[in-house]
A and B are shown apart, each in its own frame.
Chain A
Amino acid sequence: MIHSLFLINSSSDIFLEKHWKSVISRSVCDYFFEVQEKAGEAENVPPVIHAGHHYLINIYREKIFFVSVIQSEVPPLFVIEFLHHVAETFQDYFGECSESAIKDNVVIVYELLEEMLDNGFPLATESNILKELIKPPNILRSVVNSITGSCNVGETLPTGQLSTIPWRRAGVKYTNNEAYFDVVEEIDAILDKTGSVVFAEIQGVIDACVNLTGMPDLTLSFMNPRLLDDVSFHPCVRFKRWESERVLSFIPPDGNFRLLSYHVSAQNLVAIPIYVKQNISFFETGSSGRLDITVGPKQTMGKTVEAVFVTINMPKVVLSANLTATQGNYTYNPVTKTLVWDIGKLSQQKLPNLKGSLTLQCGAPKPEESPSLNIDLKIQQLAISGLKVNRLDMYGEKYKPFKGVKYVSKAGKFQCMAITIWLYIFTNKENSHLKC
């Protein structure tokens, strides 16, 4: 399936290659470079490239291209998912998935890749198994290893691979038994210029950090499970149980994992926590424009909206911005043409406002497009959908674990579109005649 893997950094340097079958010359990447050049931005490189006798399937993560070489038919998503999994494993092992981290740990990276694929077909991909096979690096161990010559390859054999629950390693022991669950919800919304909602939905995940001894069997139930419209599970969750009782029953993997991701559909009215009044206009005469944005809290259920950022991608002709903010700071980057306004907390009394003028390039025509606003925000201790965890029970082990649940709501892809006057265009007929 997957024949080879090349890691390429942003300056088109192949800094790692791994072959699972016979060796393929790295010149195959020339096809990739060609396409990359044509695409311009990294995110526009098509994930699948036909390269002579091969196919290149690539992903772009953390400024690195993971380019895999394929020789025959394989579901593209299979490869893409796997590559992301590789990136996540690196992240898990080294704390970051950057070029320098990979170069520093090149041997571990190689060992990992060796275990993850056999002849191009995934072999051991569960993080719990991999960690038993190859221990993640830490400073203490690397010092000890260099002195004693011991190694970071697990001495014990990964028996988890052979059990019915491959995601959990055997013989887990903790002195403090803890299980934490973070309910994180993101609001995806598109607002039009008047502030009314074009489209809104909530995407949520429950990330768990479970440090429990032995083989605990957990059951997590919700106050209002009907809210969850569409869910996807970690393989440990018993699907039948969810179908029949709407509770999550599972034997958790050890450590951090994503238990569940869910979707709260648009049918349930999504509470939009803030509102935005915006007015960005460019004058026909003279090279300047005006900007006036006000942000205020809307439905926050008594919680404070924090870490509010407003990001605006300005048209190319905007040279600089001269604005005053009643709260927070703003920065304008004239190279990327982005205006970022860091507001911080939103208070009910005083509405933050950003106002001022924009300078445009001299002589350039007035920009046609109106910029859209992207908004970031965070609300602690609130799941905006209203989802609430009811209880967490543990079976199979004797001790009493510490259990914690945390809720956070964030803005996901939260966008305020500026709608324009195109509506009129459709009704106005133009009857100009050609002069002969």
Chain B
Amino acid sequence: MTPMQKLLQLPVNAVNIVKTVQAQAQEEARSPVLTPDSIQQNWYSAVQPEELRNLKVAGTGGGDSEERAPLEEGVTSAQTQPLRHDDLKEMLDSNKDSLKLEAMKRIVAMIARGKNASDLFPAVVKNVACKNIEVKKLVYVYLVRYAEEQQDLALLSISTFQRGLKDPNQLIRASALRVLSSIRVTIIVPIMMLAIKEAASDMSPYVRKTAAHAIPKLYSLDPEQKDQLIEVIEKLLADKTTLVAGSVVMAFEEVCPERIDLIHKNYRKLCNLLIDVEEWGQVVIINMLTRYARTQFLNPNVNESLLEESGEKAFYGSDDEEGKEEKAEAAALAKRKPYVMDPDHRLLLRNTKPLLQSRNAAVVMAVAQLYFHLAPKAEVGVIAKALVRLMRSHSEVQYVVLQNVATMTIKRRGMFEPYLKSFYIRSTDPTQIKILKLEVLTNLANETNISTILREFQTYIKSMDKDFVAATIQAIGRCATNIGEVRDTCLNGLVQLLSNRDELVVAESVVVIKKLLQMQPEQHSDIIKHMAKLTDNIQVPMARASILWLIGEYCEHVPKIAPDVLRKMAKTFTNEEDIVKLQIINLAAKLYLTNSKQTKLLTQYVLNLAKYDQNYDIRDRARFIRQLIVPTDKSGALSKYAKKLFLALKPAPVLESPFKDRDHFQLGSLSHLLNAKAGGYQELPDWPETAPDPSVRNVEVKDSVIRLLERVTTLTSVPEWTKCSSREKRKEKKVEKPFYSDSEEESGPTESADSESDSASGSGSGSESEESGSGSESEESREESESEQEDKEDEEDKRKKKKKTDRGKVKAPAVESPESEESSGAEEKNRAQKVKGRRSGSESESEEEEESESESSRSESESESESESDTDAKKKKKAPVTKPPPKQAKKESKKEKKEMSLLDLDDFEPTPSPQVTPVNNFLSSSLVTDLEGLSLTDTVMAPTTIAPSGSVKTYELLHRITGEGLGVEYCFSRQPFSPDAHMVAVQIMFTNNTNAETKNLHVEDPKLQSGMRIKEFPEIELLPPGEMVTVVMGIDFCDSTQAANFQLCTHIRKFFVSIQPPVGELMMPVFMTENEFKKEQEKLLQLSLGQLMGMNEISEKLTLGEKCQNEHGIVQRVTSAANVSRVPCGSDKECRFAGKTVSSGILVLVTVATKEERAAQLTVNCEKMVIGTMLVKDILQALTQ
């Protein structure tokens, strides 16, 4: 660009015009009016109506159309400029979508060109509710761009988005949230906050993903919201879909990277989901996990470093110091017990490894840096191949990869040695790539490959690219210093280069030779002589200065030549560059000290010249040196030491890589590339001395493992369990009767205690085993299927881990036949669990069995005590149950909403895709496990639902192993909690399995979601050994399935526990007649038609499971899944149930309509969509089995 064009800010097109002759005349005519306005005219050409442009293209044959356009318009539009915007306004105000669209397209094109279109804001913002999707989208584009500047007007559009947030279509909800959060208007921060919170618990994972995206936006707008946002992040981190994972980790990194504790519970899940997350998310997660792992695990190389370091590094000098350090460290650590890798650490390494095969260079790099920073030395090698592969990619990618490889090669040279040839330089490489490759080659050089490398370097010296040649010469110098054997060869080769015709080459050689000579000057006086001769020819200042320094330093080796060089230099002194002048003074001083006879006058002369130099550095130096070396009467005390000062032995410079020590930055990061800390960079922490408690991560895993374990062990001891189960059930029945018997008799005459117990004993062991098995299902998640997948994953990762610990331990028996994998796996897991629980040693299998037996007997006794406690409870709670009088039944109408299926879509849903069909072995390992998980849990879950309505599932709160003898279980007794009607009563059973007394059992430090409350049970003063006690506490879950977390404290210990209710337990039965039911249902439907289409009704078709084909079966299963009561009804084709949520008393209406065969339709009406959907899932599950 000529300065002229720059001045005028002429667009390129205009420049091109100048070329055509006919255009030139016009151009000249116009140029006086070429004010900045002309740019405006210019872009218009780019957005003329399409058809017009096509015509023109046809007429002129393509390319010129662009160039001509400004000419045509330029003449007319210069004066009509303001009118144009009026045009646009008019178009925007018109009724025709096509005109609006055209106007918006022009406006967007203006924005794209960087032109100001802000004065159109009012006209544009009116169209925010336009029906046409493209117009709408373009308006969004405009809004996001200009809302910040026109905050007041932007507020006009907010209501549209708020409406959009309630849309039944998830994609519209998401897009509304996206735009709303992108508008940077501070006044709507509260609205944004609310919207994000709501979206974070949306049914659709896509909306939740959008919510995660919105978090950093809000944070950058108002950092004061941080605390609230962290809450949302914490919630979203617990999300189990791959769609959300990447985005929420990104939000985490931007908002609260220091809150590493939020990751603990999600660590394993993230590891397992990783492979299915989209590429960009993978990068973010891997980088975050690298940092996490550095804080949580031990350095895997502590012990190995002793062996490897000494073997690898002893050969050459540059890393000596480091080697020593590490040796010392290693020696210190070697005394410690052998290193055993944390299974979670292994999990991370294992799950990231396949990603080295990703097509995305950023992912490969992220995994590579993870391995570099976290893996044991022996395993790091795998990344080399993948990194070398990236070298085939675009040059920008090469550039970044080479930078990182350069850093890696300093620490781990061996890893890249096999790929040496991949770093050979091609003449077509850009210079910056060449120089980086050279760096890598130099780092890789050792005794064995140096000859190949040097031969390669020889060809490089011949290159036309002079910068590259200079770099090569330096590289040769570095090889020479590092590898003693080739020092002489290199030196000689470099000396040869001194006769090169190119001055740059010679100069660079001189500089490098100077450094090399400093190592062994005695042997090379001839080289110094040769170089002295060069002063006649070489003009490059740096080279001249280097030569002079050399001669001065080693003037004793060249006693004859040195004074002569000084003579020549004195002659040309005034014309030299500053650095050369300084070196001349230096040389003079040194010669004066060693050979004052010959050089006294010359020195005086030089110093005199320097005294009047223009440069003050030189004047200063001259003055200083004169005082120092020339003895005068008042010369200072220092002059005695002049010789020592000047002729001191100078250490040879160490030629080291500029990439040395760069690895203290996390590799692959921007900071590493720049070798400076970039804003927002999170330091990669050092390994901890001792590993932090690994159990923080296994809250969820533990539960599921125990569950599985118990499932298996109970299956083996069937008889006892059957006994106990029936007994238990009968007792429970007794408890429930007083509350429900009346209504039950009324509503369901078929339902009787007999049939219930029949069915219970009929299914016998199965059901019971499941019941006790699922005792630990404390963290049952909102979405059943997901939680199961997750469980399965956890189990599998547990298994993997188990294997690893086995490998780690020498003794542990690892016999695992494929048939018995399930059970033995579980047992192993149990053992792993014990290891976790800080129990020493591995236990034999017989012990295992004993344990399970004792467990069963324990629950037997539990059930007994339960009945006792229940009677207690009865005394306490005599809350009367109101019964509304029965009324007549009506027929109910049903509606099906198609959109709802969209809502139910979730990430893991096994869509009817062929994915499931052909093979078991799939790309997404987790997907497979998910599917397996589904089928597995299906079979196991089946018996639960046979349990009669009154039966109570117990869940494990604290396993007796983790609780160090204190076992705690809980169940939802389904009785009103008398102190506070809005609370769900949770019955908690403590068992003391130890030999000592447990004292002062109480609740402490509850951590609850906002709005949730907890009513603690009175402190238990004393629990004697072997005894058990039952208490009731109340929790207000706020009608959500969020877990209530609190600490359970004994006099010695504290345990973190959490209670998460299944959705069915959040409600209590409401008794109503068919008529009332119909009325309420209609009311709800109307409400939904009014504002929230289809939000209040969710219906699902299903096929009834084998055991619940009759009405009785259905009633049983529904009431066991949810705490609702049956509504009497005339038709035997329909079963209705009603309940209301405990906390806010919102009605929940359930209808099951049976049809021919086993088909049925389930409808749930509830104002709270979340509850409705989850309930549908739960009931569906119960009914289909």
Seen from chain A, the residues whose Cβ lies within 8 Å of a Cβ on chain B are 1, 9, 11-19, 21-23, 26, 41, 43-44, 46-48, 50, 53, 55, 58-61, 70-78, 80-82, 84, 100, 103-104, 106-107, 109-111, 114, 118-119, 121-123, 125, 139, 142-143, 145-146, 148-149, 151-153, 155, 157-159, 161-166, 190, 198-199, 201, 203, 214-217, 219, 229-241, 243-245, 249-251, 258, 261, 263, 266, 313, 315-316, 365, 368-370, 372, 374, 395-397, 413, 415, 417-420, 422-423, 425-436
Q: Which of B109, B134, B459, B911 contacts A164 (CB 8 A)?
A: B911
Interface centre among A21, A70, A107, A244 (most CB of B within 10 A): A107
Q: Decide if A139 touches B386 in the complex (CB within 8 Å).
A: no
In the complex, B227 has a CB within 8 A of chain A:
no
Closest 10 CB pairs of A and B: A396-B914, A149-B98, A238-B923, A72-B680, A151-B134, A422-B458, A395-B918, A153-B134, A43-B430, A122-B280
Q: Decide if B923 touches A239 in the complex (CB within 8 Å).
A: yes
Q: Which of A110, A159, A315 contacts B464 (CB 8 A)?
A: A315
Q: Decide if B206 touches A162 in the complex (CB within 8 Å).
A: yes
- Taken residue by residue from 33 to 51, chain B's Cβ proximity to chain A (1 for < 8 Å, 0 otherwise) reads as 0000000000000110111
Q: Decide if B922 touches A241 in the complex (CB within 8 Å).
A: yes
Q: In the assembled complex, which residues on chain A have CB atoms less than 8 Å from the CB atom of B181?
A: 119
In the complex, B105 has a CB within 8 A of chain A:
yes
Q: Which of B452-492 contact A (CB under 8 A)?
A: 454-455, 458-459, 461-464, 489, 492
Q: Decide if B213 touches A119 in the complex (CB within 8 Å).
A: yes
Q: Decide if B112 touches A110 in the complex (CB within 8 Å).
A: yes
Interface centre among B96, B140, B213, B360 (most CB of A within 10 A): B360
Residue of B nearest to A415 (CB): B426
Q: Decide if A258 touches B386 in the complex (CB within 8 Å).
A: no
Q: Could you tell me the distance in whole angstroms from the C-beta of A181 to the nearest C-beta in chain B?
A: 16
Q: Which of A13, A214, A234, A241 contacts B12 (CB 8 A)?
A: A13
Residue of A nearest to B922 (CB): A238
Q: Which of B389, B463, B674 contacts A50 (CB 8 A)?
A: B674
Q: Decide if A161 touches B529 in the complex (CB within 8 Å).
A: no
Complex Cα–Cα for A195 and B914 (A): 53
Task: Supply 16 A–B pairs (Cβ within 8 Å), ascending by A.
Answer: A23-B145, A47-B396, A77-B400, A78-B362, A84-B396, A110-B108, A119-B181, A164-B909, A214-B914, A232-B386, A263-B392, A413-B428, A422-B461, A425-B497, A426-B496, A433-B529
Q: In the assembled complex, which residues on chain B have CB atoms less than 8 Å from the CB atom of A237?
A: 923
Q: Decide if B275 touches A59 in the complex (CB within 8 Å).
A: no
Q: Decide if A75 touches B96 in the complex (CB within 8 Å).
A: no
With A13-B11, A73-B682 in contact, do A44 and B400 touch (Cβ < 8 Å)?
Answer: no
Residue of B nearest to A266 (CB): B421
In the complex, B1038 has a CB within 8 A of chain A:
no
Complex Cα–Cα for A251 and B430 (A): 39
Q: In the assembled complex, which residues on chain A have CB atoms less than 8 Å from the CB atom of B426?
A: 190, 413, 415
Q: Decide if B917 touches A217 in the complex (CB within 8 Å).
A: yes
In the complex, B287 has a CB within 8 A of chain A:
yes
Q: In the assembled complex, which residues on chain B have CB atoms less than 8 Å from the CB atom of A72?
A: 678-681
Q: Which segment of B665-673, B728-736, B779-787, B890-898 sits at the interface? A: B665-673
Q: Which of B203-245 contact A (CB under 8 A)?
A: 204-206, 210, 213-214, 216-217, 220, 243
Q: Decide if B114 touches A190 in the complex (CB within 8 Å).
A: no
Q: Which segment of B20-28, B351-359, B1002-1010, B1092-1100 sits at the interface? A: B351-359
Q: Decide if A365 touches B171 in the complex (CB within 8 Å).
A: no
Interface centre among B46, B137, B422, B464 (most CB of A within 10 A): B464
Q: Which of B50, B63, B529 contacts A434 (CB 8 A)?
A: B529
Q: Could you tell me the distance in whole angstroms from the C-beta of B684 to the nearest C-beta in chain A?
A: 12
Q: Decide if A11 touches B1 in the complex (CB within 8 Å).
A: yes
Residue of A nearest to B930 (CB): A164
Complex Cα–Cα for A145 and B105 (A): 13
With A107-B109, A240-B921, A369-B464 in contact, do A145 and B493 touch (Cβ < 8 Å)?
Answer: no
Q: In the assembled complex, which residues on chain B have CB atoms less than 8 Å from the CB atom of A18?
A: 112
Q: In the assembled complex, which residues on chain A have CB atoms less than 8 Å from the CB atom of B964?
A: none
Complex Cα–Cα for A369 and B469 (A): 11
With A230-B389, A232-B389, A426-B489 in contact, do A107 and B138 touch (Cβ < 8 Å)?
Answer: yes
Q: Decide if B361 touches A48 in the complex (CB within 8 Å).
A: no
In the complex, B250 has a CB within 8 A of chain A:
yes
In the complex, B864 has a CB within 8 A of chain A:
no
Interface centre among A232, A315, A420 (most CB of B within 10 A): A232
Q: Decide if B919 touches A241 in the complex (CB within 8 Å).
A: yes
In the complex, B501 has a CB within 8 A of chain A:
yes
Q: In the assembled complex, which residues on chain B have CB atoms less than 8 Å from the CB atom of A436?
A: 560-561, 564
In the complex, B394 has a CB within 8 A of chain A:
yes
Q: In the assembled complex, which residues on chain A have CB atoms less than 8 Å from the CB atom of B98?
A: 146, 148-149
Q: Decide if B184 touches A22 in the complex (CB within 8 Å).
A: yes
In the complex, B366 has a CB within 8 A of chain A:
yes
Q: Decide if A166 touches B278 in the complex (CB within 8 Å).
A: yes
Q: Decide if A313 touches B427 in the complex (CB within 8 Å).
A: yes
Q: Could you tell me the distance in whole angstroms from the C-beta of B1112 to the nearest C-beta in chain A?
A: 39
Q: Which of A12, A76, A238 contacts B1 (CB 8 A)?
A: A12
Complex Cα–Cα for A425 and B178 (A): 68
Q: Decide if A372 touches B427 in the complex (CB within 8 Å).
A: yes
Q: Decide if B213 touches A55 in the complex (CB within 8 Å).
A: no
Q: In the assembled complex, which residues on chain B have CB atoms less than 8 Å from the CB atom of A418?
A: 462
Complex Cα–Cα for A250 and B148 (A): 46
In the complex, B97 has a CB within 8 A of chain A:
yes
In the complex, B645 has a CB within 8 A of chain A:
no
Q: In the assembled complex, which residues on chain A have CB atoms less than 8 Å from the CB atom of B430?
A: 41, 43-44
Q: Which of B213, B362, B422 contacts A121 (CB 8 A)?
A: B213
Q: Decide if B496 touches A428 in the complex (CB within 8 Å).
A: yes
In the complex, B810 has a CB within 8 A of chain A:
no
With A59-B396, A241-B921, A249-B919 in contact, do A162 and B358 touch (Cβ < 8 Å)?
Answer: no
With A110-B111, A420-B462 in contact, do A121 and B432 touch (Cβ < 8 Å)?
Answer: no
In the complex, B972 has a CB within 8 A of chain A:
no
Q: In the assembled complex, which residues on chain B have CB atoms less than 8 Å from the CB atom of A251?
A: 913-915
Q: Could you tell me the distance in whole angstroms from the C-beta of A127 to the nearest C-beta in chain B?
A: 13
Residue of A nearest to B918 (CB): A395
14 A-B pairs besides A139-B54, A235-B923, A420-B459 with CB distance below 8 A are A9-B12, A72-B680, A73-B682, A78-B362, A106-B109, A107-B47, A114-B141, A125-B278, A148-B98, A238-B922, A251-B915, A261-B359, A430-B530, A434-B561
In the complex, B940 has a CB within 8 A of chain A:
no
Q: Decide if A417 touches B386 in the complex (CB within 8 Å).
A: no
Q: Which of B50, B361, B915 contacts A142 (CB 8 A)?
A: B50
In the complex, B395 has a CB within 8 A of chain A:
yes
With A13-B12, A109-B112, A157-B171 in contact, do A397 and B914 touch (Cβ < 8 Å)?
Answer: yes
Q: Decide if B213 touches A118 in the complex (CB within 8 Å).
A: yes
Q: Decide if A75 touches B913 in the complex (CB within 8 Å).
A: no
Q: Could you tell me the distance in whole angstroms from the C-beta of B323 to the nearest C-beta in chain A?
A: 30
In the complex, B532 has a CB within 8 A of chain A:
yes
Q: Which of A203, A215, A233, A427 contacts B913 (CB 8 A)?
A: A215
Q: In the assembled complex, which residues on chain A have CB atoms less than 8 Å from the CB atom of B12?
A: 9, 11, 13, 15
Q: Could you tell me the distance in whole angstroms from the C-beta of A151 to the nearest C-beta in chain B?
A: 3
In the complex, B978 has a CB within 8 A of chain A:
no
Q: Decide if A368 touches B501 in the complex (CB within 8 Å).
A: yes
Q: Could you tell me the distance in whole angstroms from the C-beta of B506 to the nearest C-beta in chain A?
A: 12
Q: In the assembled complex, which residues on chain B have CB atoms less than 8 Å from the CB atom of A199?
A: 421-422, 424
Complex Cα–Cα for A104 and B53 (A): 9
Complex Cα–Cα for A146 and B213 (A): 35
Q: In the assembled complex, which residues on chain A have CB atoms less than 8 Å from the CB atom of B922?
A: 238, 240-241, 249
Residue of B nearest to A429 (CB): B492
With A110-B111, A434-B530 in contact, do A11 and B923 touch (Cβ < 8 Å)?
Answer: no
In the complex, B415 has a CB within 8 A of chain A:
no
Q: Decide if B459 touches A417 in the complex (CB within 8 Å).
A: yes
Complex Cα–Cα for A428 and B497 (A): 12
With A100-B66, A123-B213, A372-B427 in contact, do A75 and B668 touch (Cβ < 8 Å)?
Answer: yes
With A77-B365, A149-B96, A164-B915 in contact, do A55 and B462 touch (Cβ < 8 Å)?
Answer: no
- Taken residue by residue from 336 to 372, chain B's Cβ proximity to chain A (1 for < 8 Å, 0 otherwise) reads as 0000000000000000001001111110111000000
